[in-house]
Amino acid sequence: MSQRRVSEQSAAPRTVDPRVTDVVLALAMALVVALVIAVDTDAVQRTGAGAYLFAAAFGALVLFRRTAPRTVLVVTVLAVFAYYALGFAPIGMALPAVAALYSAAEMRHTGWAVGAGVTLVAVSTYFRVTGNDTEDQLTPYDLVTNLALVAAAIALGVAVRLTHQVRAHEAWAAEQRLQAERLRIARDLHDVVGHNLSVIALHSGVAAEAVGRDDDAARGALEHVREATSGTLRELRSTVRVLRGPVGGAVAPTGLAGVDALARPARAAGITVDVDLDVPDGALDGAIDAAAYRVVQESLTNVLRHAAATRVAVRARVDGGRLVLRVSDDGRGAGPVLVPGSGVSGMRERVAVLGGSLAAHDAPDGGFVVAADLPLRLET
C-alpha cells in the first residue's frame, strides 16, 4: 500500500460501528428495566426470574431495531402488555418501549411510534383508572411521566433523523460544489490550452514558410512556439497540482490586467491589437474580472484560428454600473467564426451565470464583434 493511501486512510474520520451502538443500547435497556424491577421492594413476590427474563427480552429486541423497526415496536408493546398480565412488578408502561419508540421515529416511522405511544398511555390510563387496587391507582405524576417518556423518545428519534438528513444534504451540496469547481477548472484549462495551441499552430505555419528564405523570421516564430508550449505545460502542471490538493484552493484565472499578455502572440503574428481598458482598479469582483479575461481570450483565439483578420480592437469600460466589453476584428465575419467548438456558446454561458449577457455577430462594416455586458459585482 502506498504512503499516500495510508495517509488518506489515517486522515479519514472514524465512526462508531452501528452494531456496537445497538449492543450498548440493548444492554442499557435491559439493565434499566432490571434495575427498576430490583428496587421495587414493595412487590418482592412479583419479581421472580420471569420478570428479569422480560427485561432481557426488552433489551434483545433493540438489536433488531435497524432491520425491523416496526416489528420491534409492535412486539415490544405486546411484551409490555404480557408483562403486566402476568402480574410482575410495575416498571412503567413507557419505559420498556423507549428504545423501540426512538428507533421507529429515527427510521422514518414516526406515525407508528406515535400510535404505539398513544396505545401504551391509553391502556395504562384505562386500567389504572378502572382498577380496584389502591396501589395501582393512576396519579398525575405517573401520567405525566409516561407522556414525557413517550414524547421525549419520539422527539429524540425525529431529531436524530433530521440531523442525519441535514448532514447528508450538506455532503451532497459539498459534492456539487466540488463538481462545479472541477468543471470551472476544466473550462479554464480548455481556454488556456486552446488559445496556446492556436498560437502554436499559427507560428508553426509561419516558421515552415520562412525556413530557407528568412531564417530570422523562422527563428522568431519558433521562439513564439516555444513560449506558447512552455505556457501550456505550466498551466497543465498548475492544474494537476490544484486537482491533487484541496479544490477550494484553486487560484482564480488572470483578470483584465492580463489582456496585454494575451495580445502579444497575435501581435507577433502580424495582427494589430488595440487594447483600451478603462476599468478602475478594484471595480470588479474576482469572478467578473476572470470571466471578462476569458471572453477576451476566447475571442482572440477565434481570431487567430478562423478570422483571417489584420486588426483587433479590445475595449472595456464601466458604464452605468456595468462592465461593457467589446472585442471586434476586421476578418471574415460569422461564417468561419461560429463553427462548432469555437467557444461562443461557452462564453455566453459563463457570462449568463454571472448575471450578464453576451452577443456575437457580424459587424456592420465587416468583421466580427463579441460584446459582453456584465455586472461589476456579484449579487449576494
Q: What integer pLDDT is reported at residue 255 of this predicted model?
A: 84
Q: What integer pLDDT is reported at residue 41 of this predicted model?
A: 59
Q: How do residues 215-259 score in pLDDT, each as one tens digit? A: 777 777 787 777 777 766 666 665 566 555 554 444 445 789 889
The residue from 86, 103, 138 where one domain ends is 138
Q: What integer pLDDT is reported at residue 8 of this predicted model?
A: 41
User: When comparing pLDDT for 311 and 216, which is higher?
Assistant: 311
**Cell 464601466 found at:** 318
Question: H or E segment at 244?
Answer: helix 215-244
pLDDT at 195 > cutoff 70: no
Q: Which three cell numbers stand for residue 210?
A: 520562412
Which of 215, 107, 120 is CA-nearest to residue 165? 107
Distance (Å) of CA 311 to CA 87, 267, 296, 359, 367: 101, 9, 14, 20, 10
The residue from 103, 138, 173 where one domain ends is 138
Q: What integer pLDDT is reported at residue 352 of this predicted model?
A: 85
Q: What integer pLDDT is reported at residue 359 of this predicted model?
A: 92
Q: What are phi and psi of 55, to 5 degrees?
A: -60, -45
Which of 161, 84, 186, 64 is CA-nearest to residue 127? 84
Mean pLDDT of the chain, nearest integer: 79
In a domain, 162, yes or no: no
**Cell 444492554 found at:** 27
Q: How do residues 131-177 score in pLDDT, each as one tens digit? A: 555 455 556 667 788 888 899 999 999 999 898 888 877 777 766 76
Residue % of the chain over a pLDDT of 70: 74
C-beta separation of 347 from 358 below 8 A:
yes
Total of domains in the chain? 2
pLDDT at 341 > cutoff 50: no
pLDDT at 72 > cutoff 80: yes
In a domain, 186, yes or no: no
**Cell 401520567 found at:** 143
Q: Which three cell numbers stand for residue 270?
A: 502580424
pLDDT at 14 > cutoff 90: no
Q: How far apart are CA 146 and CA 98, in angstroms?
A: 10
Q: What integer pLDDT is reported at residue 22 of this predicted model?
A: 86
- Tell me which of 157-161, 208-212, 248-252, 310-314 is least confident: 248-252
User: When comparing pLDDT for 302 and 375, which is higher?
Assistant: 375
Q: What is the CATH number of the domain that holds 330?
A: 3.30.565.10
In a domain, 156, yes or no: no
C-beta separation of 301 from 343 below 8 A:
yes
Q: Which of 82-91, 202-211, 223-232, 340-349 has the highest mean pLDDT?
A: 82-91
Q: What integer pLDDT is reported at residue 185 of this predicted model?
A: 63
Provide mean pLDDT across the span 67-85. 91
Q: How far apart are CA 52 and CA 78, in angstroms?
A: 17
In a domain, 134, yes or no: yes
3-state helix, strand, coil in the chain (%, to 5): 65, 10, 25
In a domain, 184, yes or no: no
Q: What integer pLDDT is reported at residue 212 of this predicted model?
A: 72
Identify the DSSP state of 136: G
Provide mean pLDDT across the span 11-26. 73
Burial of 104 (0-12, 13-18, 19+ CB in 10 A): buried
In a domain, 79, yes or no: yes
Q: What integer pLDDT is reported at residue 124 of this predicted model?
A: 80
Domain interval for residue 27? 3-138
Provide mean pLDDT across the span 120-138. 69
Provide mean pLDDT across the span 274-301. 87
Q: What integer pLDDT is reported at residue 327 of this predicted model?
A: 94
pLDDT at 47 > cutoff 50: yes
What DSSP line would sit under 36-69, residue for residue? HHHT-GGGGGG-SHHHHHHHHHHHHHHTTTTT-H
Q: What integer pLDDT is reported at residue 243 of this predicted model?
A: 57
Provide mean pLDDT across the span 349-363. 87
Q: What integer pLDDT is reported at residue 337 of this predicted model?
A: 43
User: When comparing pLDDT for 98 and 219, which is higher?
Assistant: 98
The residue from 90, 121, 138 where one domain ends is 138
In a domain, 335, yes or no: yes
Q: What integer pLDDT is reported at residue 336 of this predicted model?
A: 45
Distance (Å) of CA 153 to CA 21, 56, 103, 157: 17, 20, 9, 6
pLDDT at 179 > cutoff 60: yes
Q: Which three cell numbers stand for residue 204?
A: 508553426
pLDDT at 4 > cutoff 90: no
In a domain, 199, yes or no: no
Which of 73, 96, 102 is CA-nearest to residue 160? 102
Q: Which three cell numbers stand for residue 282?
A: 478594484
